[in-house]
């Protein structure tokens, strides 16, 4: 297989993932809490409104640091959105927090009408997204939320890859005008970026370069994608890995250039395969540069209770599943090589 530099354009600003024991694991929700405190202290128009889940969503720290900018309303997600829209119309920058399954899940009509239709400057903090919520089970595992949010006109959708990037994304969202959905998780996940790693809404990041297959991922599964790429390199398969943290507006240029470089793409997300980040990648490539695509995500199923790591594996989103998808994509690539076949069972 043709090979290229192992590190991407900002590879020097990433943590070395080869030493698993040295990696720090922190929930992405912690980054949201830290970012919200910093945003609130620098701008008193930033307010936090929570639906009775301050500790779980990591708004508890903001409540203590900026008590005059915090509102608790109880379990009322529809009211959460409506109240925030009114405050945004008066010049405030409301961050509204709940589990993603309930906000935007339960409150989607209010999100559509009071946020997106009226273009109000409300920021939804969707916590506990994906099957990695674990024991909470199917009723609390939002794996359709990217789909229902990206379809809304005017809506920005951001899915950071780790806690450090979630903090940066929270600060960026506070400064960027427009209705926004910020998605993050409950469980600890490896921190792969550093303080120096840049972040810009709408600008995807190349974390690794290779000319065989482009892996385009978002959220905490970016780490799995990097591990898969590292292991595949041992078999002579070099993958580009892109952290596609902004699902909307997506970095079309980065997606197209990755497809041109590699000739085939694998998308990776902790979400339904239907309608999510991967679907948007497919839409872009179908219009501008069609190539074979494989999708890693939940295959038209609901979640279930279980250990977070086991659920990721069970629903086909672990490192081995990504490697298998890469090999499938490679077999479909014109002029594919025998290395598309695994040396051992994966």
117: CATH = 3.40.50.970
Q: In the listed set 190, 208, 229, which residue is the last one of a domain according to the structure?
A: 190
Residues 289 and 305 in one domain: yes
**What confidence tens digit (pLDDT) does each residue in 157-174 have?**
999 999 999 999 999 999
Nearest to 50 by CA among 90, 86, 102: 102
DSSP 222: H
- Specify the pLDDT at position 335: 80
Average pLDDT over residues 328-340: 81
Residues 244 and 258 in one domain: yes
Look up the domain containing 90 and give its range. 25-190
Residues 40 and 164 in one domain: yes
Residues 169 and 38 in one domain: yes
Residues 82 and 173 in one domain: yes
Lowest mean pLDDT among 16-20, 22-26, 209-213, 328-332: 16-20
Residue 120 domain-assigned? yes
SS3 of 223-254: the string is: HHHHHHHHHHHCCCCCEEEEECCEEECCCHHH
Residue 161 domain-assigned? yes
Q: In the listed set 190, 223, 244, which residue is the last one of a domain according to the structure?
A: 190
Q: In the structure encoding, which two tokens stand for residue 227, read together?
A: 């591990």
CA 256 to chain centre: 19
Are 329 and 292 in contact, with CB atoms under 8 Å apart?
Answer: yes
**What confidence tens digit (pLDDT) does each residue in 274-311 have?**
999 999 999 999 999 999 999 999 999 999 999 999 99
- Specify the pLDDT at position 287: 98
- Specify the pLDDT at position 11: 58
Residue 141 domain-assigned? yes
Report the mean per-residue pLDDT for the chain: 94
- Specify the pLDDT at position 5: 42
Average pLDDT over residues 139-150: 97
- Specify the pLDDT at position 166: 98
**What confidence tens digit (pLDDT) does each residue in 1-47 have?**
443 445 555 555 899 888 877 899 999 999 999 999 999 999 999 99
Dihedral over Cα of 90, 124, 172, 250: its sign: negative
- Specify the pLDDT at position 22: 83
- Specify the pLDDT at position 130: 96
At residue 334 the predicted structure's pLDDT band, cuts being 50, 70 and 90, is: confident
**What confidence tens digit (pLDDT) does each residue in 65-110 have?**
999 999 999 999 999 999 999 999 999 999 999 999 999 999 999 9
Residue 242 domain-assigned? yes
Kindly tell me if the per-residue pLDDT of 344 is higher than 90. no
Average pLDDT over residues 36-61: 96
CA distance 67 to 343: 58
Q: In the structure encoding, which two tokens stand for residue 278, read together?
A: 């991967």
Are 119 and 21 in contact, with CB atoms under 8 Å apart?
Answer: no
- Residue by residue, DSSP assigns 8-32 as -TTGGGB--TT-GGG--EEEHHHHH
Residues 176 and 248 in one domain: no
Catalytic residue check, 270? no
- Specify the pLDDT at position 1: 46
Residues 72 and 181 in one domain: yes
Residue 325 is part of a domain; what is its CATH number? 3.40.50.920
Q: What is the pTM of this model?
A: 0.94
Kindly tell me if the per-residue pLDDT of 266 is higher than 50. yes
Residues 233 and 273 in one domain: yes
Residue 2 domain-assigned? no
CA distance 313 to 74: 35
Residue 233 domain-assigned? yes
Residues 161 and 207 in one domain: no
Residue 137: how many CA atoms within 13 Å on its side-chain side? Answer: 2
Residues 130 and 40 in one domain: yes
Share of the chain above pLDDT 90, in %: 90
- Specify the pLDDT at position 332: 95
Per the structure, the count of domains in the chain is 2
Q: In the listed set 165, 190, 215, which residue is the last one of a domain according to the structure?
A: 190
- Specify the pLDDT at position 346: 52
- Residue by residue, DSSP assigns 257-309 as HHHHHHS-EEEEEEEESTTSHHHHHHHHHHHH----EEEEEE-S----SS-HH
DSSP 115: I
- Specify the pLDDT at position 2: 44
Residues 177 and 39 in one domain: yes
Residue 345 domain-assigned? no
Residue 344 domain-assigned? no
Are 237 and 27 in contact, with CB atoms under 8 Å apart?
Answer: no
Which is catalytic among the residues 34, 60, 77, 283?
77
- Specify the pLDDT at position 305: 96
Nearest to 278 by CA among 257, 306, 297, 302: 297
Average pLDDT over residues 184-204: 96
Nearest to 274 by CA among 129, 144, 104: 144
Residues 316 and 213 in one domain: yes
Share of the chain above pLDDT 70, in %: 94
């Amino acid at each position: 297989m043709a090979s290229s530099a192992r590190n991407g354009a900002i590879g020097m600003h990433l943590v070395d993932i080869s030493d698993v024991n040295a990696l720090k694991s922190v929930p992405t929700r912690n980054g949201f809490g830290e970012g919200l405190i910093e945003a609130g202290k620098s701008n008193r128009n930033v307010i936090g409104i929570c639906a009775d889940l301050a500790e779980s969503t990591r708004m508890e720290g903001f409540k203590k640091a900026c008590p005059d900018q915090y509102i608790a309303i109880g379990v009322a997600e529809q009211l959460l959105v409506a109240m925030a829209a009114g405050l945004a119309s008066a010049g405030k920058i409301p961050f509204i927090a709940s589990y993603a399954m309930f906000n935007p899940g339960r409150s989607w009509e209010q999100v559509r009408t009071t946020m997106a239709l009226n273009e109000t400057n409300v920021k939804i903090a969707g916590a506990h997204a994906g099957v990695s919520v674990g024991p909470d089970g199917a009723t609390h595992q939002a794996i359709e939320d990217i789909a229902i949010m990206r379809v809304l006109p005017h809506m920005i959708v951001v899915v950071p890859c780790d806690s450090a990037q979630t903090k940066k994304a929270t600060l960026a969202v506070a400064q960027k005008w427009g209705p926004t959905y910020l998605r993050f998780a409950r469980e600890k996940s490896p921190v792969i970026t550093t303080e120096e790693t840049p972040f810009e809404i709408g600008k995807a990041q190349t974390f690794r370069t290779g000319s065989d297959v482009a892996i385009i991922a978002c959220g905490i599964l970016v780490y799995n994608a990097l591990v898969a790429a590292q292991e595949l390199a041992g078999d002579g398969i070099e993958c580009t890995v892109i952290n596609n943290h902004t699902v909307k507006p997506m970095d079309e240029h980065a997606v197209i250039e990755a497809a041109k470089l590699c000739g085939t793409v694998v998308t990776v997300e902790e979400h339904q395969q239907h309608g999510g980040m991967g679907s948007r990648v497919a839409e872009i490539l179908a219009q501008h540069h069609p190539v074979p695509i494989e999708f890693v995500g939940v295959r038209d199923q609901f979640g279930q209770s279980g250990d977070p790591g086991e659920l990721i594996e069970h629903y086909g989103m672990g490192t081995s599943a990504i490697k298998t998808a890469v090999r499938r994509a490679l077999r479909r690539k014109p002029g594919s090589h025998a290395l598309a076949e695994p040396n051992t069972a994966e």
